[in-house]
Structure 1
Amino acid sequence: MRGPWVAPDCCGGFSNLDFRQADLRAMTRLLGYVDPSDDRFVAAVLAIAFNPLFWNVVARWEHKTRRLSRAFGSPRLACYALGGAVLLLNVLRSHCFTQAMLSQPRMESLDGRAAYGAGLALLAGGSVFVLSSFLALGFTGTFLGDYFGILMEARVTRFPFSVLDNPMYWGSTAVYLGWAVMHASPAGLLLTLVVAVIYKVAILFEEPFTAAIYRQKASQARRRS
């Protein structure tokens, strides 16, 4: 049954304008539940944005200066320290995310068993990607060991990298999305969008830099041979 906003195009389908109008109305309805000025919502946005900024700035600084490696006595210990800091920041981010959801209204259309089950499935699937990524990469591979000079021998291609690029990031995004759906939280859905955008920006910065590190490694190996 078509709603009043749907109009068929000349070929019997739906025009792009119809879908844009639908998306706009859905987003307007979603934003109607969210108070972006709430302190806990703002704190969640700041935590989401800060984490990738922190680990990229620190890791690039380490790559350029080797200050952390000298301070900790070895690149591996320095990488463990950065990884520990990132894990603590991720705990803080998840706490801020949850508090922002709990401080704002729930959406009735998501407040049911079916939606809860879908959210649980998203959370479980995302967790599988995050954990399997960690097992495939190891601690230093996960926490930017490349920037500390701890390079991997070959590109990881087994699951989950065989089915998805950057599975750690997108698995984490799915976890947040599932958590938001389970809580029937419009604020959580909006914050999940922020997570996805921030991760996309992080990927755009990280991938070229990491590729350059491995090109330099390959060039040095050729010169030695």
Structure 2
Amino acid sequence: MRGQLAGLDCCAGLGNIDFGQADLCVMSQLLTYVDPSDPSFVAAVLAIAFNPLYWNVVARWEQKTRKLSKAFGSAHLACYALGSTILLLNVLRSHCFTQVMMSQPRLESLDGPVTYLLGLVLLVVGSVFVLSSFWALGFTGTFLGDYFGILKDARVTSFPFNVLDNPMYWGSTANYLGWALMNASPSGVLLTGVVALIYVVAILYEEPFTAEIYRQKAAQSHKRS
């Protein structure tokens, strides 16, 4: 309990301290409970970082060479194959995430009904965003079909895309945060921050490409009309 008591002492007099100091205090309390040298923690970070790197590298390679489509004899089959590997990697990522939470200490100040309920709400909201995003995009739209030349008539703007951009990514992040809070896991909260950071990088890399694809499609449609 030494780490927890130190963290609580740190935060004991925050009434007159600004939120920046409070955030640093909370972070120091969380880090007291996290062992980043733990092999399971390292494996989780690698799994979180690898997934977007994998699908972006493979999808860009396909977009430039069409070798996956040629190998499978169909752009749709190739997209299904890539999507299946992404799903498997996401299962592995979630497994690694859960293993870290199970192997590292819980934070007692997070272990209560209010935090559990907040985590459950985040999990439900995140699942709604992920599932509704998948429903709106379909399998090929979700799993990089535009890199395979499989385009919709226009970019999807219906729910949940009319609520926030990249709902699949942020819904997934909410799921991880909710799961971490429900397990009172400071390591889970920290790993959720890694998930969010990696998704921000992925969005910065992917968004301009997707926007350009649909800009070109709109320009071609305008010329034909």
Q: Please say whether Structure 1 and Structure 2 have the same fold, judged by a TM-score greater than 0.5.
A: yes
Match of 1:69 in 2: 69
Question: Once the 2 structures are TM-superposed, how far is the Cα of residue 3 of structure 1 from its aligned partner?
Answer: 5.5
Amino acid at match of 1:155: R
CA spacing shift, 1:211–1:95, aligned 2, 3 Å: same
Cα deviations by residue, 1:53-78 (Å, 9 ceiling, x for unpaired): 00000001000000000000010000
Name the CA distance, whole Å, in 1 between partners of 2:117 and 2:218: 47
Asked if 1:4 is matched to 2:4, the reply is: no
Asked if 1:33 is matched to 2:42, the reply is: no
Name the CA distance, whole Å, in 2 between partners of 1:128 and 1:111: 25
Question: Once the 2 structures are TM-superposed, how far is the Cα of residue 113 of structure 1 from its aligned partner?
Answer: 1.8
Is contact 2:154–2:214 with CA below 8 Å preserved after alignment? no
Q: SS of 1:82's equivalent?
A: helix
Question: Once the 2 structures are TM-superposed, how far is the Cα of residue 221 of structure 1 from its aligned partner?
Answer: 3.0
Q: SS of 2:99's equivalent?
A: helix
Q: Percent identity?
A: 75
Asked if 1:78 is matched to 2:64, the reply is: no
Match of 1:148 in 2: 148
Question: Once the 2 structures are TM-superposed, how far is the Cα of residue 217 of structure 1 from its aligned partner?
Answer: 2.0
Match of 1:211 in 2: 211
**Residues 28-107 of structure 1: pairs in structure 2 closer than 5 A:** 28-107=28-107
Match of 2:111 in 1: 111
Question: Once the 2 structures are TM-superposed, how far is the Cα of residue 156 of structure 1 from its aligned partner?
Answer: 1.2
Match of 1:22 in 2: 22
Cα deviations by residue, 1:152-178 (Å, 9 ceiling, x for unpaired): 102211111111111000000000000
Count the aligned residue pairs: 215
Q: How much is the aligned-residue C-alpha RMSD, in angstroms?
A: 1.4
Name the CA distance, whole Å, in 1 between partners of 2:119 and 2:27: 19
Match of 2:127 in 1: 127
Question: Once the 2 structures are TM-superposed, how far is the Cα of residue 219 of structure 1 from its aligned partner?
Answer: 3.0
Cα deviations by residue, 1:188-219 (Å, 9 ceiling, x for unpaired): 00000000000011000000011111222233
Name the CA distance, whole Å, in 1 between partners of 2:214 and 2:156: 13
Question: Once the 2 structures are TM-superposed, how far is the Cα of residue 186 of structure 1 from its aligned partner?
Answer: 0.2
Q: SS of 2:52's equivalent?
A: helix
TM score, norm. by length of structure 1: 0.92
Cα deviations by residue, 1:105-125 (Å, 9 ceiling, x for unpaired): 000011112211111111111
Amino acid at match of 2:157: T
CA spacing shift, 1:5–1:177, aligned 2, 3 Å: closer
Match of 1:10 in 2: none
Gaps of 5+ in 2: 1-10
Match of 2:221 in 1: 221
Name the CA distance, whole Å, in 1 between partners of 2:224 and 2:157: 27
Is contact 2:180–2:189 with CA below 8 Å preserved after alignment? yes
Amino acid at match of 1:127: S
Cα deviations by residue, 1:95-149 (Å, 9 ceiling, x for unpaired): 0000011110000011112211111111111001100000000000000100000
Cα deviations by residue, 1:5-53 (Å, 9 ceiling, x for unpaired): 443xxxxxx7xxx222111111111101000000000000000000000
TM score, norm. by length of structure 2: 0.92
Higher helix share: 2
Name the CA distance, whole Å, in 2 between partners of 1:192 and 1:62: 30
